[in-house]
Chains A and B, each alone.
Chain A
Amino acid sequence: GQSLEQPSEVTAVEGAIVQINCTYQTSGFYGLSWYQQHDGGAPTFLSYNALDGLEETGRFSSFLSRSDSYGYLLLQELQMKDSASYFCAVRPMDSSYKLIFGSGTRLLVRP
């Protein structure tokens, strides 16, 4: 089966850098995605890693290491509006366009 593990909560200070980890157990997958969800809102796509390495999109970066079964989302220059839940997701190779989501990490940014 497939499973993704994330820390349940992370707290950081405005202006700081925070890393949200995602470790997974899956036999094979096409890529690792990250989604952001504010309280009461819908998940929105943030980033995607098809290959190992770092992908940068503005203040957000995402990293994947298939050999270590590990990925992370890096948020820089934290802003209060970054307080939200962050989910990693994979599309297993046997799943035909289904995504398996982690349980999410709630990020609280403090002043």
Chain B
Amino acid sequence: DADVTQTPRNRITKTGKRIMLECSQTKGHDRMYWYRQDPGLGLQLIYYSFDVKDINKGEISDGYSVSRQAQAKFSLSLESAIPNQTALYFCATAGGRATDTQYFGPGTRLTVL
């Protein structure tokens, strides 16, 4: 089984709809991240969390919200989806003070019509 899972893997929705993307991990990591990737571009950080009580905004948090329901679960919500939020979304985890290494989930391809 994969260490970092994301659901759904693909989603098509309409402008104005509320969407939730879910991420679960079995690595026991305390740090979790949500990124957005647009075609041909790098990864932009949306939100990150260092534990259940710690949520931080990234570079592009506007239009998004998150919830850290448990150490293993980190959800990303789009309260009112708009077409320019069409992108590939990745969840990532990291653990331990001595490492920067992040482990990514398989991604969710979101299309907003």
Residues on A lying within 8 angstroms of B by beta carbon are 8, 30-31, 33, 41-45, 48, 87, 89, 91, 96-99, 101-104, 106
Contact = CB atoms under 8 A, between A and B. Distances in A.
Contact of B101 (A33, A101, A104): A33
Given A87-B43, A97-B50, A102-B42, A31 B104 contact: no
Contacts of B103: 45
B90 A42 contact: yes
B19 interface: no
A104 B41 contact: yes
B52 interface: no
A101 B94 contact: no
Interface residues of B, number: 22
B58 interface: yes
13 contacts: A33-B101, A41-B106, A43-B102, A44-B104, A45-B102, A48-B99, A87-B43, A89-B100, A97-B48, A98-B48, A101-B43, A102-B42, A106-B40
A15 B101 CA distance: 29
Contacts of B105: 42
Most buried by A among B50, B90, B101, B105: B101
A43 B100 contact: no
Nearest to A91: B100
B31 interface: yes
A43 B43 contact: yes
Interface string B85-113: 00000101010000111111111000000
B45 interface: yes
Contacts of B40: 8, 104, 106
A48 B100 contact: yes
B76 to A, nearest CB: 16
A97 B104 CA distance: 15
